Amino acid sequence: MQEYDENNDGVYIISGKVEFDTLDNILYNFENNTKTTMLRTSARCLSILIKKRNEVVLQNELLEYIWGENHVNISHNTFYQCIFHLRNALTDAGIDNGLVKTIPRRGIMLDESCVSEIVRGKIAVDDETDSYIPQPASSAPWNNIFNSYFLYVFLFLITLASIFFIGCFISRKNSGSGYFFDYVAQPSLSGNCKVFFDRDVKSYTRHRKYMKDNYKSLCQDGNELYVTAFLNTKNISVLSCHRPSVSEKRMRCTSIYYPEYF
């Protein structure tokens, strides 16, 4: 049986699946890649039980090891809470709750057969031959899923933003990003030419009357007519252009102005 040395901190394997490092107070289950953080007092309790495994550790000895010189001021209720939190931490880590045994009127003990000590990546079980312990994977599956989820969300948002900006660009380009982008096509009036009315009015009555009177003289050779009826005046102007408004080339336009129309 191993001699107890309170300065001999180490790393231990419990029940063949949980790693306990006495320096960081963490139970690491390398079967499901989960970590359980222990209270400092519960971790120190587990540490002495492991180091004196298969021996009954008296309550006073536990109190002195866990709380040091202040142990004389610790109540029984505080001590029992420490044991309670220890058992809960072991259960959360996937260890059978019966690992820590209470010996009535004596103290507490740990089953020696459930604990092995790691020495430089190997198990040391008293005087038995060392055997290698496979080290847990460096990255937890849940961490990978978590990271992948946010990666997909990030890529989705980037794709969505790209589609939005490309759509805005195409829409602006198709609507005419130049001088005539604020004109509305009038398919019913188009024949040999294309007719557009400015959208800054509530009614196209004046536009339509003008085109009815002047359509034959203006619409020719596949040109485009941009009709503007100015608000609060009788003025109407027409631009007759011979190039598509979305063309990259210059358009040849002729301006016609009617200062007193309708």
Distance CA 121, CA 126 (A): 16
Position 164 in a domain: no
Number of structural domains in the chain:
2
120: pLDDT strictly greater than 80: no
Question: Domain containing 211: what range?
Answer: 183-258
Closest CA to 81 of 39, 53, 52: 39
**Boundary of a domain, candidates 116, 136, 156:** 136
Position 155 in a domain: no
Note the maximum CA span of the chain. Answer: 117
In this structure, the answer to whether residues 132 and 188 fall within a common structural domain is no
Q: How confident is the model at residue 245, as a pLDDT?
A: 52
Could you tell me the CA-to-CA distances from 78 to 71, 222, 227, 230, 255 in Å, in that order?
A: 11, 96, 90, 89, 96
SS3 (DSSP) at 236: strand
Position 148 in a domain: no
In this structure, the answer to whether residues 101 and 15 fall within a common structural domain is yes
In this structure, the answer to whether residues 124 and 58 fall within a common structural domain is yes
SS3 (DSSP) at 187: helix
Distance CA 78, CA 87 (A): 15
For the stretch 174-200, pLDDT in tens is: 544 456 777 888 887 767 788 898 887
In this structure, the answer to whether residues 90 and 191 fall within a common structural domain is no
In this structure, the answer to whether residues 18 and 100 fall within a common structural domain is yes
In this structure, the answer to whether residues 129 and 188 fall within a common structural domain is no
For the stretch 76-108, pLDDT in tens is: 888 888 888 888 998 898 887 778 888 887 888
Walk across the sheet containing 11-14 and list its strands: 34-37, 26-29, 18-21, 11-14, 115-119, 122-124, 131-132
pLDDT higher at 14 or 114? 14
In this structure, the answer to whether residues 207 and 111 fall within a common structural domain is no
Distance CA 176, CA 196 (A): 12
